[in-house]
Chains A and B, each alone.
Chain A
Amino acid sequence: MPSEKVTEADVRHVAYLSRLEFNADEIQRFTHDLNNILLYVDKLAELDTSAVEPTSHSLKMQNVFRDDEVRASLTNEQALANAPEREGPFFKVPQIIQEP
């Protein structure tokens, strides 16, 4: 095994950040896959980019404004039509603040 970039503990932490969960087998497989991919992308380190600006977007655009006008939008019923669970005019979710 070449030098390890991520451990199973790292993968569990990233899974938590991603709101994903995996069983022991999956953790092992994702650790293996992520290590391989990260070793592959390490080839970028060959390039000296100290004087290079990053490109996050290929077209140079900034401050795209539009007039602040009132326009038609979805009705309450349309917005709720795909809700997994609703109560009256609201989206319903499990309890967020737990009792102490």
Chain B
Amino acid sequence: MHLNEQTITQLAPLLQARKLSSVELTRSVLERIRALEPRVRAYLSVMETQALHMAEEADRRFKRGENVTPLTGIPVALKDNLCTQGWPTTCASKILQNFVPPYDATVVARLKDAGAVFVGKTNLDEFAMGSSTENSAFQVTANPWDLERVPGGSSGGSAAAVAADECIAALGSDTGGSIRQPAGFCGVVGLKPTYGRVSRYGLVAFASSLDQIGPFGKTVADCALVMNCIAGRDPADSTSASVAVPDYASALRADVKGLRIGVPKEYFVEGLSREVETAVRGAVARLAELGAEAVEISLPHTPYAVATYYLCAPAEASSNLARYDGVHYGYRAADQDNIIDMYTRTRHDGFGTEVKRRIMLGTYALSAGYYDAYYLKALKVRTLIKRDFEQAFELCDVIATPTSPTPAFRAGEKTGDPIQMYLSDIFTISANLAGIPAISLPCGFAQNGGHPLPIGLQLIAPVFREDTLFRVAHTYEQATDFHKKKPTL
């Protein structure tokens, strides 16, 4: 197996025993990037020189035996909405095309402290608004399993880079499914942590009450190792939680005996592909064979989640994106002789269609006369959705669902119909509204000519129970081979 195909769990002991250098490993990743990027287009920028410099620094740490962590020397990719000091951070938007942050996001700083190696910044839907990465202002990323299909979104670049072995692990962000849905479409593992578990400082804001940063990995264990590094309270983010972070690696026990797995009947309805249903029900049966108990549960407000989300998230976005005015940073339309024209032209030229659609929808939902009927109504239904989960978790320890109703769809298939695109997040949105953690991991493949398409299993747990997610997901992964399959590229 090539170096770039391996996991953190496999590589860390080799690096620490100095049987392998980080420079050697980083070179194998950079070679893979050079070979595949013309077809996959996962990266918006690749940091070759800087990556090799960071790898040399990691090798010096191994030599001295100082500050060595499981992530030291590991090549990782960062979604391009995470601020990197001195390196462009574009959010795949023309409005930030030339923006170079003067500081690092907290997660970026923590990875640097741990000695990780940054290989590049990955593509996304502009400002993380989308479900296919087709809303990027710069390029369309291909799904490594079938280049005609989307990688999912909005963290499609990070998911594709991990799936194509163009990095070892990656970070993404998830506001309504933007880590889990692409992880499912690309056949990798992706975790959205509890709201407040990971600092959002330096994550370019989309919907501040829903956004969370989380890891992509080739295995559940790799995601746990990344979480050990990035989780925890940060004084720079007042919404980060003062809750102790357990050692997630010790949650990786292959044992689900006595755990109750809730299967919500509202997730197995019309629109769910037969192959997805079969794979997910098969996964629940496998967990039952391994000692868990499957129980049917109900999350009655599930049919209202997409409508709730598409009022809450655009409302917050319309406010967050008011800062792009061409004054302090980013694009400015030239030759405007009054300030209102300058703002308006700048935003007209700088934002893409989906971002404008959401700003318009959010502004409308918050505007005088409509606030109660739309925004406030959505916040109240959000309470009902959150309560559904609280009640369900009295009957079970973890909930199992499909990550998405279908496997990856074709590029262009949904771009003309916003509501069809929004509905591809139907199973992931509720966890953001409720603030609870959820993980997607491979649980099967759908037939698709010579290009099988991965199917994602989503597991959802109560607040701050990422340890339960890791335990159940790891147990399932150890008992199956789906995560070992690689796309033919």
Asked whether A3 is an interface residue with its Cβ less than 8 Å from the other chain, the reply is no
Contact with B along A37-70 (1 / 0, CB 8 A): 1101111110101001111111101001010000
Q: Which residue of B lies closest to A43 (CB)?
A: B307
Contact with A along B369-404 (1 / 0, CB 8 A): 000001011111111101000000000000000000
Among B102, B339, B356, B367, contact of A81 (Cβ-Cβ < 8 Å): B102
Q: Is the CB of A59 within 8 A of B196?
A: yes
Asked whether A8 is an interface residue with its Cβ less than 8 Å from the other chain, the reply is no
Q: Give the A-B pair count, Cβ closer than 8 A.
A: 162
Q: Is the CB of B380 within 8 A of A59?
A: no
Asked whether A1 is an interface residue with its Cβ less than 8 Å from the other chain, the reply is no
Assuming the contacts A6-B364, A20-B356, A98-B338, asked whether A84 and B332 have C-beta atoms less than 8 A apart, the reply is: yes
In Å, the complex CA distance between A94 and B196 comes to 40
Q: Is the CB of A18 within 8 A of B360?
A: yes
Q: Which residue of A lies closest to B359 (CB)?
A: A18
Assuming the contacts A55-B383, A59-B239, A64-B238, asked whether A40 and B102 have C-beta atoms less than 8 A apart, the reply is: no
Q: Is the CB of B330 within 8 A of A84?
A: yes
B residues near A85, Cβ cutoff 8 Å: 332
Q: Which residue of A lies closest to B366 (CB)?
A: A17
Mostly, the B contact residues are helix
In Å, the complex CA distance between A78 and B378 comes to 40
Tell me the B293-331 residues at the A interface (CB within 8 Å).
301, 303-304, 306-308, 310-311, 318, 322, 325-331
Asked whether B218 is an interface residue with its Cβ less than 8 Å from the other chain, the reply is no
Q: Is the CB of B337 within 8 A of A55?
A: no
Q: Is the CB of A40 within 8 A of B383?
A: no
In Å, the complex CA distance between A15 and B360 comes to 7
Q: Is the CB of B304 within 8 A of A20?
A: no
Chain B interface size, under 10 / 10 to 19 / 20 to 34 / 35 or more = 35 or more
In Å, the complex CA distance between A81 and B328 comes to 9
State how many angstroms separate the Cβ of B346 from the closest Cβ of chain A.
Answer: 8
Among B195, B310, B337, B344, contact of A21 (Cβ-Cβ < 8 Å): B344
Asked whether B347 is an interface residue with its Cβ less than 8 Å from the other chain, the reply is yes
Tell me the A59-100 residues at the B interface (CB within 8 Å).
59, 61, 64, 66, 74, 78-79, 81-85, 91, 93-96, 98
Asked whether B361 is an interface residue with its Cβ less than 8 Å from the other chain, the reply is yes
Q: Is the CB of A44 within 8 A of B102?
A: no
Q: Is the CB of A82 within 8 A of B339?
A: no
Q: Is the CB of A84 within 8 A of B331?
A: yes
Q: Is the CB of B327 within 8 A of A91?
A: yes
With A61-B238, A74-B102 already in contact, 17 other A-B pairs whose C-beta atoms are closer than 8 Å? A6-B364, A14-B364, A14-B367, A17-B367, A18-B360, A20-B344, A45-B377, A47-B301, A49-B384, A58-B195, A64-B238, A66-B235, A74-B103, A82-B98, A82-B100, A82-B330, A84-B329
Chain A to chain B contacts (Cβ below 8 Å), 10 pairs: A10-B364, A20-B359, A20-B360, A33-B418, A49-B377, A52-B381, A52-B384, A59-B241, A74-B102, A78-B102
Please give the residue numbers on chain A whose beta carbons come within 8 Å of chain B beta carbons, in ascending order: 6, 10-11, 14-15, 17-22, 30, 33-34, 36-38, 40-45, 47, 49, 52-59, 61, 64, 66, 74, 78-79, 81-85, 91, 93-96, 98
Going nearest first, the 10 A-B pairs with the smallest beta carbon separation are: A58-B435, A54-B379, A82-B329, A84-B332, A49-B380, A64-B238, A41-B307, A52-B380, A55-B383, A55-B382
